[in-house]
Structures are given as C-alpha cells and as structure tokens.
Structure 1
C-alpha cells in the first residue's frame, strides 16, 4: 500500500496487483497536521476514461459534486467504525442494494469490441456471476447477447454494460446499485489475463460483488489499513479472505476466491426464496 501524506489525510493508492491502482482513499486525521484542500484531493484522484472519478481502487464517483460529498464525509464525517460484516454500501443511511424483483433479472451485455477476447470475457462474466448466484437463488445475472453489438451505457435494453478499457490504473472496475444508468458499466483492462493467481472469474466475481452493493471488506477497522469510509452496514463477521478484500490490504487470500462467509453475506442481503 503506497501512501502519500497530505497533512491530516492520507491519500492511498492500491499496489500494482490491485483491482485499482491510483484511487485515493482518506485515512483518519493525524494530530498537528494540515488537511489537504478539496482541490488537492481532486487533483490526486484518478479521472477515468469513462469520465468518472475512481475512489477506493475500483469504485466510480460520477460528478465533481459527488466527489466533494465523498471528501466532506471523510474530513467531517463520523469517526466511529462498525465492527462486524461482509459489508453493504449505504446511501443516506439506507442499504444500497437491488429490490428482490430486480436482483433476479440483472441484465447485461458484453461488448464485441473485446475482439478476440470477447468469448473469454463472456465466460469470465458467467463464472463470476455464478459465484453470487450460487449464494442466493434470488440473484440472477442475464447475458443479453443480442445487445452485444451496441453494448454501451446508452443501451436501455440492459441494466448494465461490460466494456473494454485501456488503462494502467486498474484491472477492472464496476458500480453500485445506486449508480445512475449513464455510469452503470463494468470496465475491463487486458491486464485481467495476466493477473497471476487472480483468475478472471474471481476478478469479475469481485466486481460483480460491487454491482450487488457490497463494499471492500478492508474498509473495516479489523483490516488495519486501506480504510475507505463508514458508509456501510455489516452482514457477517469480518472475513480477511473475502472475495471483496484486497490481498494487499492485509487480506489472507492469494487468489481472490469466494468464501463461505461471502455466501452468507449475499444470502443475508438477498434472502433465498
């Protein structure tokens, strides 16, 4: 974890093997130091090719106003941290997840612009989706292949798109259920095929965890590093081996595989029928 200190706030960028590289997160203030201005924080934040800010490694923030709200929460928000959970994102204190009817029909397309890797991405998405579908029969991802030729966020025939990106800043990144349609996509870089023990299926499983509303497990205090914010609620006990836990943030999994605790959390968020 590379950390750059700007006064009271640590702007951290996840290490090179991370799902995200240069997305700052803000750590707790230190006594006797100066908080960086919002402009300093904004300048250090990755502005994605998809015209979104990326925080916490692989989580998009759509507008400058949203980035300011994120900054304000980090500087002025609660210093209390929850102590339990595979954690689900919250917006305004409300759990950020799909309705039970919508989570059973999570439609997506896979862009044909992946070229020779198109089938590989289709298979990785299916395998990543199966991890969560196996945890709760409420969850169902549906690949609408007829839309793959026009697979962008502007395609209203699917809930989200899976598109290629060329970047050195992350392997893949996703979105939360509360994300607006114009920003609802999963972007995948070619480095997904050369990520060592992190299989494409598990990487896509991690990103699809975000699409279900799940946060990085390492934002919890037990991780001891890589704190992001307190906008989450617990679903299970802390799991250092979680698929949602970066290994380089004191995680104990070397392959980003799904755990039984992950499955319990998914079933808690989306109770099986």
Structure 2
C-alpha cells in the first residue's frame, strides 16, 4: 500500500503504505537499475532505524537490506505458481509455533491519546478476521502493559505504537523479526484512508505478523514483484486482503476473502 511507484526490483523502499497507492511496477533496463549504494541512500528509514521495503515490511540491518537488494537484482527467475503466500527464511516457512500462535500478546500505547480506544478497537477487529478464519490464532491485548508499550516491553510479544510519517499508513513485521523490532506502527492517516477501514488496514498488517506476504508478489499479478522467498498456500487471489489494489488487485477496500481464510487455516491448522 504505497504512495509512489514501485520499480522492477521494488526500488522505492522509501515509498510506503500510504493513503494513495503506487502505480503498477515498471520495467527497468540494466542501465536503470541503481547500485546498492544508490538504493540504500534512497531507502526510507523508520523511526526505529529499520529500512522499510515492499510498502510495509521492515528490514533491520544494512546487511539484510543488501541481501534484499541482491534478491531483487540477481534473484531466481523461476516464478512460483500459487499463493496466499507465506514468507520463508532460509527455505523454511516463517510462522509462529503452534503454542505461540495461540498467545499473540500485544499492548496498545497510551500515546495514541484521544485515538487510543479507536486503535484498540481497530486491532481487535483486524485480529478477529484471522482468528475467525483459523481458531488456533489468538491475539491477546494486555491493557496492563499499555502505559509502557514499546518494543522493550518483555511482557508482550509485540507493541502497537503511534508514528508520524508521510510515508505510510501502517507497517508491521514477520514472525522471524527479532523482539527489538517487533512492533506495529500506525499513522493518523489511518482515519482518513477512504474505503480502507481501520479494521481492514490492521487486518492486512496483522497478516504480515502471521507470516503472510503480499499476494501481488506472485507472477499472476503481472506487476509489483517483490521476491521469491515464499511458498504457496492457496490459488492466486487478486481480491486478497494481502493484495495491493494498485498492483492489479480487484478489491478496493482490503476486505478478507474466502481464499484468505482458507490460507490462514492451512498455515495454522
């Protein structure tokens, strides 16, 4: 969900989840592909010094960003054929254990001020989309930790915190993300995002926290390719909650589909 355009190698790391989405990815010639140094210098760094790629996915270190860049430029040319897709790390599915997925604890920062209750409700609604699809999934809000809701809080698995940025509406993390970087950041633009309800936006971001990738990285989308570090769970779904509408998606409101629910049940049976 990005404001400015994506290149063939997801060039615009600085162009992130925003109120207006990016135009489809554009082909690039070899001469147009930037060096890693150029790519790094143009990449957006979040408030906690993480690089953001693919719109709303954090990359913790410069080494990780270089690995991402190399995959984009030199990665496998073999297209995978099916998805709702789950992230992989070293060829292994990036998912929570059976025990952990039933206790996904989080806090909601009181620094949201007058919007605190709204964020609590949006998180609960977004979480319920996945919980209803796969009952093993269970997000648990721990209000007692809200006053000290940061990534340093070891009493919860992750934190939900406010951010002020023009770069995105919200961004999340994958299960493999280290605790020091495990948060969901939410900008005030979530309340003025048109047909995207806060519940569906949070549902999209919580999809990432379960390990699900953007659906449009699959070849069927024909644009906005990210990388091949995923495995398929279901047939391609252009209306998926994980599919950017501007990347040849067919849903305008990020609602959850039957295929999304099927994929969640496959990932977390």
Same fold, TM exceeding 0.5?
Answer: yes
CA distance change for structure 1 residues 178 and 257 in 2, over 3 Å: closer, same or farther?
same
* C-alpha deviation, 1:11, in angstroms: 2.1
Kept in 1: contact 2:9–2:225 (CA 8 A): no
* Aligned equivalents of 1:39, 1:173: Cα separation in 2: 24
* Matching residue of 1:11: 11
Structure 1: how far apart are the matches of 2:45 and 2:253?
28
Q: Which residue of 1 aligns with 2:259?
A: 261
Could you tell me how far apart the structure 2 residues matched to 1:65 and 1:146 are? 36
Q: What is the correspondence of 1:1-273 to structure 2 with a 5 Å cutoff?
A: 2-3=4-5, 11-12=11-12, 13=15, 16-17=18-19, 30=29, 33=31, 35-271=33-269
Structure 1 stretches of 5 or more lacking a match? none
User: Could you say what the CA RMSD is over the residues aligned between the two structures, in angstroms?
Assistant: 2.0
Mean alpha-carbon deviation: is it higher for 62-71 or for 72-81?
72-81
User: SS at 1:54's partner residue?
Assistant: strand
| 1:35 Cα offset (Å) | 3.4
Distance 2:224 2:175 in 1: 23
More strand by share: 1
CA contact (8 A) 1:27 1:228 kept: no
Measure, in 1, the Cα distance between the counterparts of 2:20 and 2:228.
21
By relative contact order (CA 8 Å, sep 6+), the higher-ranking structure is: 2
Unaligned runs of 5+ in 2: none
Change (3 A) 1:27 1:219: farther
- Compute the TM-score of the two structures, normalised by the length of structure 1: 0.91
1:16 Cα offset (Å): 4.7
Cα distance in structure 2, aligned partners of 1:214 and 1:18: 22
